[in-house]
Amino acid sequence: MPTGICVEERFVGCLLGLAVGDALGAHFEGQSPDFMERRYRSATDLIDHPPPGELWYTDDTQMAIGVAETLVACGRIDDEVLCSRFAANYLPQRGYGRGAKVVLQAMCDGEDHRFWAENLFEGGSFGNGAAMRVAPVGLLFRDDHDAVWEQARQSSLPTHIHPLGIEGAQVIALAVAIASSFDQLDRSSFFEELASRCASVEYSGPLRRAGRLEDDRDLGLFGNGIEATASVVTAVAAFGLTPDSYEETIGNAILLGGDTDTIAAMAGAISGAYLGVNTIAGHLLNNLEDRKQGRTYIKQLAKNLHGRHADAVR
Which residues form the interface with ligand RVK (CB under 6 A)?
A: 58-60, 95-100, 121-123, 125-129, 132, 162, 226-227, 259, 261-262
Number of residues that bind Mg ion (CB under 5 A): 6
CB of 129 vs ligand RVK, minimal distance in Å: 2
Angstrom distance (rounded) from CA 70 to CA 80:
9
Residue 107 or 185: the one with the smaller Cβ distance to ligand RVK is 107
On whether 242 is known to bind a ligand per the annotation, the reply is no
- The answer to the question of residue 59 lying near Mg ion (CB under 5 A) is yes
Which one of the spans 72-80, 196-204, 256-264, 266-274 is the region binding Mg ion (CB under 5 A)? 256-264
Residue 17 or 243: the one with the smaller Cβ distance to ligand RVK is 17
CB of 111 vs ligand RVK, minimal distance in Å: 17
On whether 259 is known to bind a ligand per the annotation, the reply is yes
On whether 58 is known to bind a ligand per the annotation, the reply is yes
Q: What is the DSSP string of the chain?
A: --TT--HHHHHHHHHHHHHHHHHHHHTTTT--HHHHHHH-SSHHHHHHSPPSSPBPP-HHHHHHHHHHHHHHHHSS--HHHHHHHHHHH--GGGT--HHHHHHHHHHHTTS-HHHHHHHSSTTS--BTHHHHT-HHHHHHTTT-HHHHHHHHHHHHTTT--SHHHHHHHHHHHHHHHHHTT-SS--HHHHHHHHHHH-S-HHHHHHHHHHTT---GGGGGGG--SSBGGGTHHHHHHHHHHSTT-HHHHHHHHHHT-SSHHHHHHHHHHHHHHHH-GGGS-HHHHTTB--STTSHHHHHHHHHHHHHHHHHHH-
Residue 69 or 227: the one with the smaller Cβ distance to ligand RVK is 227
- The answer to the question of residue 58 lying near Mg ion (CB under 5 A) is yes
CB of 94 vs Mg ion, minimal distance in Å: 7
On whether 48 is known to bind a ligand per the annotation, the reply is no
Residue 204 or 293: the one with the smaller Cβ distance to Mg ion is 293
On whether 22 is known to bind a ligand per the annotation, the reply is no
* Exposed / middle / buried, residue 2 (Cβ in 10 Å: 0-12, 13-18, 19+): buried
- The answer to the question of residue 227 lying near Mg ion (CB under 5 A) is no
On whether 186 is known to bind a ligand per the annotation, the reply is no
Residue 229 or 242: the one with the smaller Cβ distance to ligand RVK is 229
Which one of the spans 4-12, 58-66, 105-113, 233-241 is the region binding Mg ion (CB under 5 A)? 58-66
Q: Which residues are annotated as a binding site for Mg(2+)?
A: 58-60, 259, 261-262
Contact footprint for Mg ion (CB under 5 A): 58-60, 259, 261-262
Q: Which residues are annotated as a binding site?
A: 58-60, 259, 261-262
